[in-house]
Structure 1
Amino acid sequence: MQLLEYFGVLTGLLYLFLEIRQHRAMWVVGFLTSLVYVFVFFFSKIYADMGLNIYYVAISIYGFWQWTRRREVETAQNGEAAPSQEAILYRNMTPLLFAGICSAILALFALLYYFLHYFTDSPIPAGDAFTTAVGIVATWMLARRIIEHWIFWIIVNCVSVYLYYLRGLYPTMFLYICYAILAAVGLYTWKKKGIRTHDSTL
């Protein structure tokens, strides 16, 4: 199991590097990382995070399709591969979208906490529910290239470091320390080098 965890750490770091660069291969690497952590978290009794990684497996397919579709649209519109393909594109949350995102997180947290507290032997139901609820929404935000997803990940990763410390998952704890740092780098990189757009098809 520890070898599997170390493999997940390595692919997780590669995933985040590709995410910062907005390389669509990130979705393939993310698929593998998530699949590994389904088993790691199951045996560690971190059930909501296990479920979250099942969700990551599914949304990796959606994210790859979403980003590939966007590039195909650009190619069709320009008659050739668009020069802007390598650019980092992002959009911002609107107040209405922010309200919807917060409502979704609260609803997911309440549902997950209730399930974990009453129906599992999870030793950390509140923390597990929180990181899972925010992670579900933040991953959807990434698929839509919403830049504020980095802020959500910084918060989730910091909380996750403590949770994995409690469960003795020290390689994974190290991974999430790196995630927190690189999420801040990702936010800076997208803001500094990215192109803001209001294109709702992103």
Structure 2
Amino acid sequence: MKIMKDWTVFERIWLLTFTLINIYLFFAWDDTILGLITSISGMLCVVLVAKGKVSNYYFGIIQTGTYAYIAYGYGLYGEVMLNALFYFPLQFVGIYLWKRHTTDRKIKGEDIQINVLTKRGWIGTIVSFLAIFILYALFLKQLGGNVVWIDSATTTLSVIAQILMLKRYTQQWLFWIAVNVLSIVLWLKALIVQGGNDVSMLVMWSAFLINSVYGYYNWSKVYKKQKGERM
């Protein structure tokens, strides 16, 4: 396929494998059609982020909207607010910002110039995380939310990761890895305690975790190549 001409073997196998798993779960576990749409659009979004493609945001618009609706049904209010009030509008911001920082395409595949955090940037990021994490968990507790500490951690880490993503920092992937691990725990607990058929959410977050590891590897490699071209 022409649209996947610059995709690696890993990227094609990853996307095909998890798409087939989601389709199987849709029929085998009587999953919801909304869950299937959310999972597949989410996987397309994250693999395109890992490749540095601006088009990731178009699938992100679909994924964040449908995911917020599903999370609301499970009382995961932190996830709802994160996706509906933060992720969804920032997809449009991301399209604008990434298009302003495109490459000259000397390195095959990616669309954008990639950055890395400085030591000062790391300190500011960690301090911000700790402060927001504690305050947001207390806020969710007042709302009567479920598993508020994990919910707060995933929400806070996601906000930071999304901001780093908009600014095209490689270290965003380290935060996404943490988000994905915690999200798997969050949904596993929600499905066990409350029931429900949205098993595709577990598959989606598992796929995201694998992609995050790959994304960090790929962006680190591309940054070194771009840095070498600028020298």
> Under a length normalisation based on structure 2, what TM-score does the superposition of the two structures give?
0.76
User: Aligned residue for 2:134?
Assistant: 110
- What is the CA deviation profile of residues 62-116 of structure 1, one whole-angstrom value per residue up to 9, with x for unaligned ones? 1111011223xx7xxxxxxx34485453211111111111122122212211111
Give, in whole Å, the separation in 1 of the partners of 2:96 and 2:133. 28
1:192 CA drift (Å): 2.3
4+ residue segments displaced more than 6 Å: none
- 1:20 aligned onto 2:50: yes
- Unaligned runs of 5+ residues in structure 2 are 1-30, 192-197
Among residues 118, 134, 144, which one is paired with 2:167 in the alignment? 144
Among residues 185, 191, 195, which one is paired with 2:220 in the alignment? 191
Q: Is the 8 A contact 1:157 1:180 kept in 2?
A: yes
Give, in whole Å, the separation in 2 of the partners of 1:60 and 1:108. 22
Among residues 92, 97, 102, which one is paired with 2:121 in the alignment? 97
- 1:159 aligned onto 2:182: yes
Q: How many positions carry a matched residue from both structures?
A: 187
Give, in whole Å, the separation in 2 of the partners of 1:136 and 1:13. 19
Among residues 28, 34, 37, which one is paired with 1:4 in the alignment? 34
User: Aligned residue for 2:149?
Assistant: 126
1:196 CA drift (Å): 4.8
Q: Is the 8 A contact 2:114 2:222 kept in 1?
A: no
Aligned partner letter, 1:91: N
- Unaligned runs of 5+ residues in structure 1 are 75-81, 198-202
Q: What secondary structure, in the 3-state scheme, does the structure 1 residue paired with 2:101 have?
A: helix
> Under a length normalisation based on structure 1, what TM-score does the superposition of the two structures give?
0.86
